[in-house]
Amino acid sequence: MYLGIDIGTSSVKAILMDERGAVVERASSPLSVSRPYPLWSEQDPTDWWAAANNAVSDLDLQRRQAVKAIGLSGQMHGATLLGSDNRALRPAILWNDGRSNGQCAALEASIPDLGQITGNRAMPGFTAPKLQWVRENEPVIFEQVKSVLLPKDYVRLHMTGDLASDMSDSAGTLWMDVGNRDWSDVMLAATGLNRVHMPKLFEGNEFTGELRAEVAEAWGMGRVPVAAGGGDNAAGAVGVGVVRPGDAFLSLGTSGVLFLANGSYSPIPAAGVHSFCHALPSRWHQMSVILSAASCVDWAANLCGMVDATAMFAAIEARGAPASTEMFLPYLSGERTPHNDPNAKGVLFGLSHESDAATIGQSVLEGVAFALRDGMDALTNRGAYVDSITVIGGGAKSHYWGKTLASVLGRPLVYRDGGEVGPAYGAARLGQLAHTGAAIEEICTAPAILHVEVPDHRLVDLYAERMPKFRSLYQNLKASF
């Protein structure tokens, strides 16, 4: 068996995969997010470790005893500040936190070639501007910082005692020279840090250490090795075989991501596109990212008094028609690609007396799809080629939404076995790669196709007409956000 653990935003997921690549068991443990002030988004790092223990403990003990290696994946960008005793100095500042917009502008002004070094614009979601915010607003805490870890690497510290990270996750800090796959002394110095504060870097399919004795005993397994793993999207790509140049997937989780694998470093930061290291050696990837995707459906369900998102999807599918006048801007946590606007707000527009929960839900599905089309165009308008797209994440459970997405994006959407646990599955595959030394092409195959959603040409024309209205709505309201 190989164990994959994904430190998500809403839960920690753990899966057991056998040596043939089949997922034989899965478990999860929920997490909550704290938003004490506008634009803030935080979690207590100790909650990640508690949830990881809960998720692993829920897996069958006999199967756990057969685990040969572990891989990790996790939400990217979270700033976990540790003191000299390796305890967190404050709550972790998450990927969808928008407080550091001013620090981003200052970093870009002070380092003109920031985009070429890091492959990205300075955005509030990244880790470096968060540390600059702490430096300026919580100087007592900043002076105590011994090291900065990403969420999955904080869990690794508890598992193995090692301060280590992988290339793909670390590429999202804004402290890396992404083309050279190393820390950037220039970027670290810009936020008052140096290499001493950073974990050691590994490729995703390399081991970083082994389970501490007490953890191994608690988890009912040997002191097995732990692979570096990857950021959630890079690990998800490994899970669905998106590892060759031109392969693409769409992740419908809390956020929405269009991920394109590359064979070389190809930054286009001006478009708000991310360029990161892949979780595998000598490979990179580009991403367009929207900050709210499936989380918008959860929000709408709560707003409309639905029991949960499943009930909302049921109401939308029973209605079974496009929105009429309703339109939704899905910027509940600000936005990245292409706007890079942490102050962008969610908007329900065009409501009437006929607007009920199902029509509002339909407009939410369409609004997320429109935002993802903005992101895809940011890639394709600059030469990227996107053909069919594999779908992963919790939102992949709804084929109805898939029809809307395929029609807005104008591309077939491919649903594969295990797509809803992509990052955890990719983490397990990285553990298997590290343990066996097998070729990447042998392990990182595309899982079996379960379903394909093709664009509905009637909807393609309808949504093409509505897309300019969606874009103009944001531009016209931008000054009021």
Task: Annotate 428-443 with DSSP letters as a single string.
Answer: HHHHHHHHH---HHHH
Whether 2-240 and 290-415+450-480 share one fold: the answer is: yes
- Give CA–CA dist 374/382, Å, rounded: 13
Tokens 């917009």 -> residue:
101
Question: How far is C-alpha 114 from the geometric centre of its chain's CA atoms?
Answer: 22
Beta bridge partners, 286, equal: 260, 275
Burial class (CB in 10 A: 0-12, 13-18, 19+), 144: middle
pLDDT of residue 270: 87
**∠401-406-408 over CA atoms, to 5°?**
95
pTM given for the model: 0.91
Tokens 């003109």 -> residue:
112
Name residue 90's amino acid.
R
DSSP state of 81: E
- Give CA–CA dist 452/125, Å, rounded: 33
How far, in Å, are 291, 327, 342, 383, 467 from residue 472 at the CA level?
20, 12, 18, 24, 9
Burial class (CB in 10 A: 0-12, 13-18, 19+), 352: exposed
Residues marked as catalytic: 232
Q: For 290-415+450-480, give the CATH class.
A: alpha beta
In this prediction, the residues of the chain whose per-residue pLDDT falls under 70 are none
Is the domain 2-240 a CATH 3.10.580.10 member? no
Burial class (CB in 10 A: 0-12, 13-18, 19+), 109: exposed
Burial class (CB in 10 A: 0-12, 13-18, 19+), 343: middle
- Give CA–CA dist 367/330, Å, rounded: 6
- Give CA–CA dist 98/123, Å, rounded: 8
How far, in Å, are 24, 56, 414, 422, 451 from residue 447 at the CA level?
14, 24, 11, 10, 12
Nearest to 469 by CA among 321, 270, 323: 323
- The domain ranges of the chain are 2-240, 290-415+450-480
